């Protein structure tokens, strides 16, 4: 299975830190944020990784390179000056991701999720999402989860972690351009075609400088 890290965002809420440094290269302890993903992916058995880039993307290429130092083969999906959002970014990278299901990870999260759990995941639906208990900054949650499937109704909503396995057929009705992922997820949830699981380990969305400091304090 190939993996994709979403790393093209501008990081507006992290300014001024992201005025001169792309968010994935912000330091958290001894590593920049994206390196934690790369190290965990390599340890989990992944060998091929796609990274999408836009804002200050050349800095990411210069820092990460071809992935040799992480025992990975890394290629880049360059979106140019304007990032294509989550859905458009993945769709743009499909030629690099191949025909098999692939793992997608938000570049602005930090987690100890064991990616080896998904390395040989047999996807039977359009997507499989990892959900977490709602953090303070998303107390209303995103989706409901039954024993196996995400649903539109239920008792307690959970938050999408930014980790998921997707089929290329998830994007079969999409076209090139800028668009978000969430409406597509909701569409397939309504068709009962998105499975899920809950993860209760360590996870943080690095959306503010305070949350970046919180991660640093964890390490």
Strands (DSSP E) along 79-193, which ranges? 102-106, 109-111, 127-132, 144-145, 150-151, 159-166
Backbone torsions φ then ψ of 6, nearest 5 degrees: -85, 110
Q: Is the pTM of this model over 0.85?
A: yes
User: 218: helix, coil or strand?
Assistant: helix
| Helix segments in the chain, DSSP class H | 17-20, 33-43, 57-64, 85-97, 116-119, 182-190, 209-218
pLDDT of residue 15: 83
Q: How confident is the model at residue 209 (pLDDT cuts 50, 70, 90)?
A: confident
CATH class of 3-218: alpha beta
pLDDT (tens digit per residue) in 159-184: 999 999 999 999 999 989 999 999 99
Of 201, 218, 209, the closest CA to residue 163 belongs to 201
Pick from 13, 10, 4: which is nearest to 34 by CA? 4
Q: Per-residue b/e over 64-93, b at no fewer than 16 CB within 10 Å? A: beebeebebebebbebeeebbbbbbbbbbb
The predicted-structure confidence for 107-125, as pLDDT tens digits, reads as follows 999 999 999 999 999 999 9
Q: Confidence band (pLDDT; 50, 70, 90) for 152? A: confident
Tokens of 54: 């836009």
What average pLDDT does range 45-67 have in this prediction?
95
């Amino acid at each position: 299975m190939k993996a994709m890290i979403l790393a093209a965002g501008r990081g507006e809420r992290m300014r001024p830190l992201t005025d001169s440094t792309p968010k994935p290269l912000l330091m958290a302890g001894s590593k920049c944020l994206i390196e934690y993903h790369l190290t965990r992916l390599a340890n989990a058995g992944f060998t091929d990784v796609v990274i999408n880039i836009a804002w200050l993307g050349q800095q990411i290429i210069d820092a990460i390179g071809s992935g040799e130092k992480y025992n990975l083969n890394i290629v880049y999906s360059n979106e140019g000056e304007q990032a294509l959002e989550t859905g458009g970014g993945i769709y743009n990278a499909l030629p690099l991701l191949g025909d098999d299901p692939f793992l997608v990870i938000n570049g602005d999260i930090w987690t100890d999720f064991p990616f080896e759990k998904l390395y040989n995941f047999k996807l039977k639906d359009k997507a499989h999402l990892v959900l977490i208990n709602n953090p303070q900054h998303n107390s209303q949650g995103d989706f409901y989860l039954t024993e196996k499937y995400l649903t539109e109704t239920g008792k307690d909503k959970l938050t999408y972690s930014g980790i998921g396995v997707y089929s290329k057929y998830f994007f079969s009705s999409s076209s090139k351009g800028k668009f978000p992922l969430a409406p597509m997820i909701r569409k397939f949830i309504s068709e009962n075609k998105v499975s899920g699981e809950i993860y209760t380990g360590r996870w943080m969305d690095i959306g503010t400088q305070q949350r970046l400091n919180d991660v640093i304090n964890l390490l």
